Structure 1
Amino acid sequence: MPTVRDIAMKAGEEPITMLTAYDAPTAAIIDDVGVDIVLVGDSLGNTNLGYETTLPVTVDDMARHTGAVARATDDALVVADMPFLSIGVDEQASLENAGRMLQEEDAHAVKLECGPHTVDLTEKMSQIGIPVMAHLGLTPQHVNKYGGYPRQGTDRDTAKRIFELAKAHEDAGAFSLVLEHVPSNLAAEVTAALDIPTIGIGAGPDCNGQVLVVDDAVGLSDWSPSFSKQFGNVREEMESAVDAYVTAVESGEFPAKEHSHEESDLEDIY
């Protein structure tokens, strides 16, 4: 199993692979294939819980799904996303919420959607043994501030702010940095300036690794962002299988004799 130190040392050496997972069966598949990091993303609000945004996701939601993923994972690093309002409001509550993911649910690290308010928090978490994956660029928990999910860092001022925050979080002890939906040349500059690895999602090819939402990667989503790619069509396979099941039941083909069991001692009970 890679440690946060192993991941940090991969910067510039070999590409880091990361996918989200929200349940044990998916996590087991991802782990068996050899993905480096499994992220239990708060994107489960969209993918699993039926919400339009990640904002309704709670600490209890994240804990439950993180535990399920961790129990099914033997080799990958498990990172728990910290949901909206779980960090950054009160330091003690932030530390307790993040610590719960490691202490009770067996995560190896947490991911924070970052800003100026998370620099000191990252340092404090790192000091007490909670490894932090920072996240800059498009941070979906700010959807109401953004008015959607626009690309970030598209002008000099906002690009400079992202660059400076990246350096600040590295100095504070973050072991890696997710860059989401930013210009590829900005991501390349940030990657070159940091000693910790960057992991991109919609940030171009020059990051040290890549992450996708697993539903997008396997083709389970009915929609995926333009910077994503479907590497399979699980949705079509599931639809085909369910349709075949319905047809078999309605036609009487299922269950067949081989799917049933008769007990001879019960023949004369009436």
Structure 2
Amino acid sequence: MNVTLEPAEWEPLQTAHVERVDNLLADHLERRRRREKHPVEDFLFTYYPTRPKQLRVWHPGPGIRLLGGAQYEGKRGYLYSDGAAQLDPAEISRRSDSITWIRQLLAATTTRQPQFGCFGLHEWAMVYQTDDIRHDWPLRLGSTGTDQVVESHKIACSHFDAFRFFTTPARPLNVLQPTRESQPALEQGGCLHANMDLYKWASKLMPFTPSTLVLDCFELARDIRTLDMRASPYDFQSLGYDPIPIETPAGKAQYAATQRTFADRARPLRLQLIELCDQLLFKVAG
């Protein structure tokens, strides 16, 4: 059943959304105007395809009709008729296979016990025994020290999109050999990248995803990225990022504790995305 909102009801929500986006992205957009790169904060706009202008578009989500929503006329995923805009059932049906796959991945992840013993070593494995440093930034322990950290630890990365950036010598050191096909069988809720990717899935499901959920996932991904880089082999102290020295017992403890807080934040967002997929697939089935 659809809920119909008058302009006086939904326009303030739209305005609040745009203000939230502008506040979140202000520093990034200012740097972009100055053509300044940032190795930590630019990641969400280089690794993930969603652009700032796309984030600024407010989406109410399924089951909501917007009276007077003429601005949505012609936008992909929307149907505008009788003076109101709502999600287009035909577009939902067209994307049902993708929605089903995303739901299966998210649901499988929730069934697995989160793991907190990886200590962010995926980033170290990406620069192991190579002079081709991905972020073109100095290594905190130098190349030799970085290689020693990798060789003295068990590498246990379960996330394919992290593993695929491992250097060739680092790949055999990983206890798992993730593939795209095995992703639903390996993804687990303690993984930083799996939790950061909630933003990817929320974005891929747009315009069906309520914008509040998209931005909640964005904020989680942004905070996780900060931990990921603080625990990485790079030295970002000049940018204001104190390192988390995962090569030490204290650093490992700090990393695992923070990783747990992100897993706790991610779980309700993952469940909301599963519920969204169920709503969409129910519309297709109905």
Higher strand proportion: 1
Q: Which has the higher contact order (CA 8 A, sep 6+)?
A: 2
TM range (shorter): under 0.3
Higher helix proportion: 2
